[in-house]
């Protein structure tokens, strides 16, 4: 999940805030600045600890951390074609790779490192950084839009299959061999015959307009998408590509969706944009006999609309069958870029919003009733000589104290540097990659979180 400012600066640049991203399990936040990058822990509500501040290169426009490990990938605006891989706890550079064009995005999981350029995608083995596959002549993708499943057991990669319509290519980044695939029309739900495309699992005709956002759930079994219009968000099963859910963000205006993010259990999906509203959708299948068990007036009206939909145009029928937001957040800014994520922080469901105004906002989410989420903490990402964390004006209660009556649901849902090394690996080749040793030891591919603290692990690579 990335947030990147325009190169021409503007209000966002006043705080040196260039980009931001949450790591794969939403335990830390990475921000790129004019002087380097910063890594923050987001595992507590009342404090925001800065884990590391890197000054290896200025004007960082991409910074991605691999789970809770010491591996961090950095791209600078001053050298936009080069990717630097650091072990930030040792202050050493593992390697750096240069590409034929500007790097627009980087995605990581425990098996793969994916680098997206405007018309090509490079897939590396993250264990030794060897280049495994190059996808050339991909549809023009000026924003570098792509998503990589964080589940290393099924490293599905999704990226635009067209520059003019909202087609999604789902690619198997683990099994880089030729295989057949399916083409799914998201509107009709029909599956077309197999086609011989290397490692392509599915082609999904998701939207009529070009894609603007993509994200997988934690297990890699669901994929959410939004188009440039930003009015409808769809969720598909992976690898089948069948449409599971359709949510309507709004009808009055087109917006630019800046981020999509599933909760860890894939029960909720949040979406942020350039408007003042963040939407949270609930992924639940409505039981067909649910309305019969509770014959309310709303259920009766719903049946009437369902019956009437058979006589209406398909576009109108689709709108009637789209679910609206389960919960919302009203931000105190408009037009600023931001990214959102759903996480369990101190055993309670929270919505995290990192905004280009230089703040991280933390909201409580009611998983039963939804509605308007309540801001519980606001953290400053840049000191500027001021206090790092700022409370709301009404001073919300600290974690562990009693919440207001309207938030009593929480009790019911609680669950029991040194400079970089000068010996680096330059460039890349199809046969090359890291030439000495493993970048990540074999045991780091276990199900548990990555911990690269041992000085014998993750050695710097030399020529």
CA distances from 245 to 206, 321, 374 (A): 12, 10, 26
Range 271-289 average pLDDT: 83
**218 or 252: which leads in pLDDT:** 218
pLDDT above 60 for 161: yes
Q: How far apart are CA 220 and CA 227, in angstroms?
A: 20
The torsion angles phi and psi of 385, rounded to 5 degrees, stand at 75, 10
**What would the mean pLDDT of 441-460 be, rounded to a whole number?**
42
pLDDT at 131: 95
Does the pLDDT at position 194 exceed 80? Answer: no
What separation, in Å, do the N-terminal and C-terminal C-alpha atoms of the chain show?
33
Strand partners, 196: 180
Task: Find the mean pLDDT for residues 58-74.
Answer: 96
Sheet holding 338-345, edge to edge: 338-345, 348-355, 359-364, 374-380, 389-390
pLDDT: is 87 or 390 the higher one? 87
Q: Is the pLDDT of residue 182 over 70?
A: no
Query: Residue 182 in contact with residue 191, Cβ under 8 Å?
Result: yes
Dist. CA 18–CA 12, nearest whole Å: 8
Q: Is the pLDDT of residue 449 over 90?
A: no
Q: Structure tokens of 172?
A: 């198997």
CA distance 26 to 22: 5
Q: Is the pLDDT of residue 17 over 50?
A: yes
Mean pLDDT for all residues in the chain: 77
Contact indicator for 199, 156 with CB cutoff of 8 Å: no
pLDDT at 46 over 70: yes
Q: List all residues 6 or more positions away from 30 whose beta carbon is below 8 Å from its beta carbon.
A: 20, 21, 22, 23, 37, 38, 39, 40, 63, 64, 65, 72
**pLDDT range class, residue 77, cuts 50, 70, 90:** very high
Looking at residue 254, its pLDDT comes to 73
- What does the alpha-carbon distance between residue 82 and residue 102 come to, in Å, rounded to a whole number? 8
| Rounded CA separation 82/124 (Å) | 15
Digit-coded pLDDT (tens) for 299-347? 454 455 445 444 555 444 344 345 689 999 999 877 788 999 999 999 9
Q: Which of 339, 360, 223, 214 is nearest to 274 (CA)?
A: 339
| Residue with more model confidence, 273 or 386 | 273
* pLDDT band, very low/low/confident/very high, at 412 (cuts 50, 70, 90): very low
- DSSP code at position 323: B
Higher-scoring residue by pLDDT: 191, 152:
152
How large is the average pLDDT for residues 31-60? Answer: 95
What values do phi and psi take at 101, rounded to 5?
A: -150, 180
Q: Looking at residues 225-234, what average pLDDT do you find?
A: 93
Confidence category of residue 152, pLDDT binned at 50, 70, 90: confident
The pTM assigned to this predicted structure is 0.76
How far apart are the C-alpha atoms of 132 and 116, rounded to whole Å?
Answer: 14
């Amino acid at each position: 999940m990335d947030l990147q400012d325009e190169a021409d600066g503007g209000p966002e640049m006043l705080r040196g805030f260039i980009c931001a991203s949450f790591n794969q399990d939403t335990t830390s936040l990475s921000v790129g600045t004019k002087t380097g990058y910063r890594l923050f822990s987001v595992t507590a509500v009342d404090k925001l600890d800065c884990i590391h501040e890197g000054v290896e290169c200025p004007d960082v426009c991409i910074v991605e951390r691999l789970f809770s490990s010491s591996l961090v990938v950095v791209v600078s605006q001053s050298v936009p074609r080069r990717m630097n891989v650091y072990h930030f706890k040792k202050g050493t550079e593992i390697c750096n790779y240069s590409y034929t064009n500007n790097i627009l995005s980087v995605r990581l999981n425990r098996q793969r490192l994916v680098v997206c350029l405007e018309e090509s995608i490079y897939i590396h083995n993250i264990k030794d950084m060897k280049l495994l596959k190059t996808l050339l002549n991909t549809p023009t993708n000026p924003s570098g839009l792509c998503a990589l499943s964080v589940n290393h057991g099924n490293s599905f990669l999704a990226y635009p299959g067209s520059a003019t319509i909202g087609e999604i290519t789902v690619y198997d980044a683990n099994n880089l061999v030729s295989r057949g695939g399916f083409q799914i029309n998201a509107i009709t739900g029909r599956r077309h015959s197999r086609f011989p495309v290397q490692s392509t699992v599915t082609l999904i005709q998701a939207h009529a307009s070009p894609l603007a956002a993509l994200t997988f759930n934690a297990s890699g079994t669901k994929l959410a998408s939004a188009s440039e219009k930003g009015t409808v968000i769809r969720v598909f099963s992976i690898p089948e590509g069948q449409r599971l859910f359709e949510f309507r963000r709004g009808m009055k205006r087109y917006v630019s969706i800046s981020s999509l993010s599933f909760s860890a259990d894939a029960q909720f999906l949040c979406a942020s944009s350039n408007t003042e509203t963040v939407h949270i959708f609930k992924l639940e299948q409505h039981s067909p006999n649910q309305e019969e068990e509770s014959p309310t007036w709303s259920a009766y009206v719903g049946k009437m609309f369902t019956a009437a939909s058979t006589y209406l145009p398909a576009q109108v029928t689709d709108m009637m069958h789209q679910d609206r937001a389960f919960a919302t957040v009203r931000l105190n800014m408009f037009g600023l870029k931001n990214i959102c994520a759903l996480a369990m922080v101190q055993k309670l469901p929270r919505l995290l919003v990192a905004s280009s105004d230089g703040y991280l906002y933390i909201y409580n989410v009611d998983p039963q009733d939804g509605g308007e989420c309540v801001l519980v903490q606001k953290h400053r990402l840049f000191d500027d000589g001021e206090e790092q964390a700022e409370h709301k004006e009404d001073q919300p209660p600290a974690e562990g104290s009693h919440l207001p009556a309207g938030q009593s649901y929480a009790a019911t849902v609680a669950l029991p540097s040194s400079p970089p090394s000068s010996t680096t690996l330059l460039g890349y080749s199809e046969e090359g990659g890291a030439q000495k040793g493993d970048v990540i030891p074999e045991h780091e591919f276990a199900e548990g979180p990555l911990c690269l603290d041992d000085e014998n692990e993750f050695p710097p690579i030399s020529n």
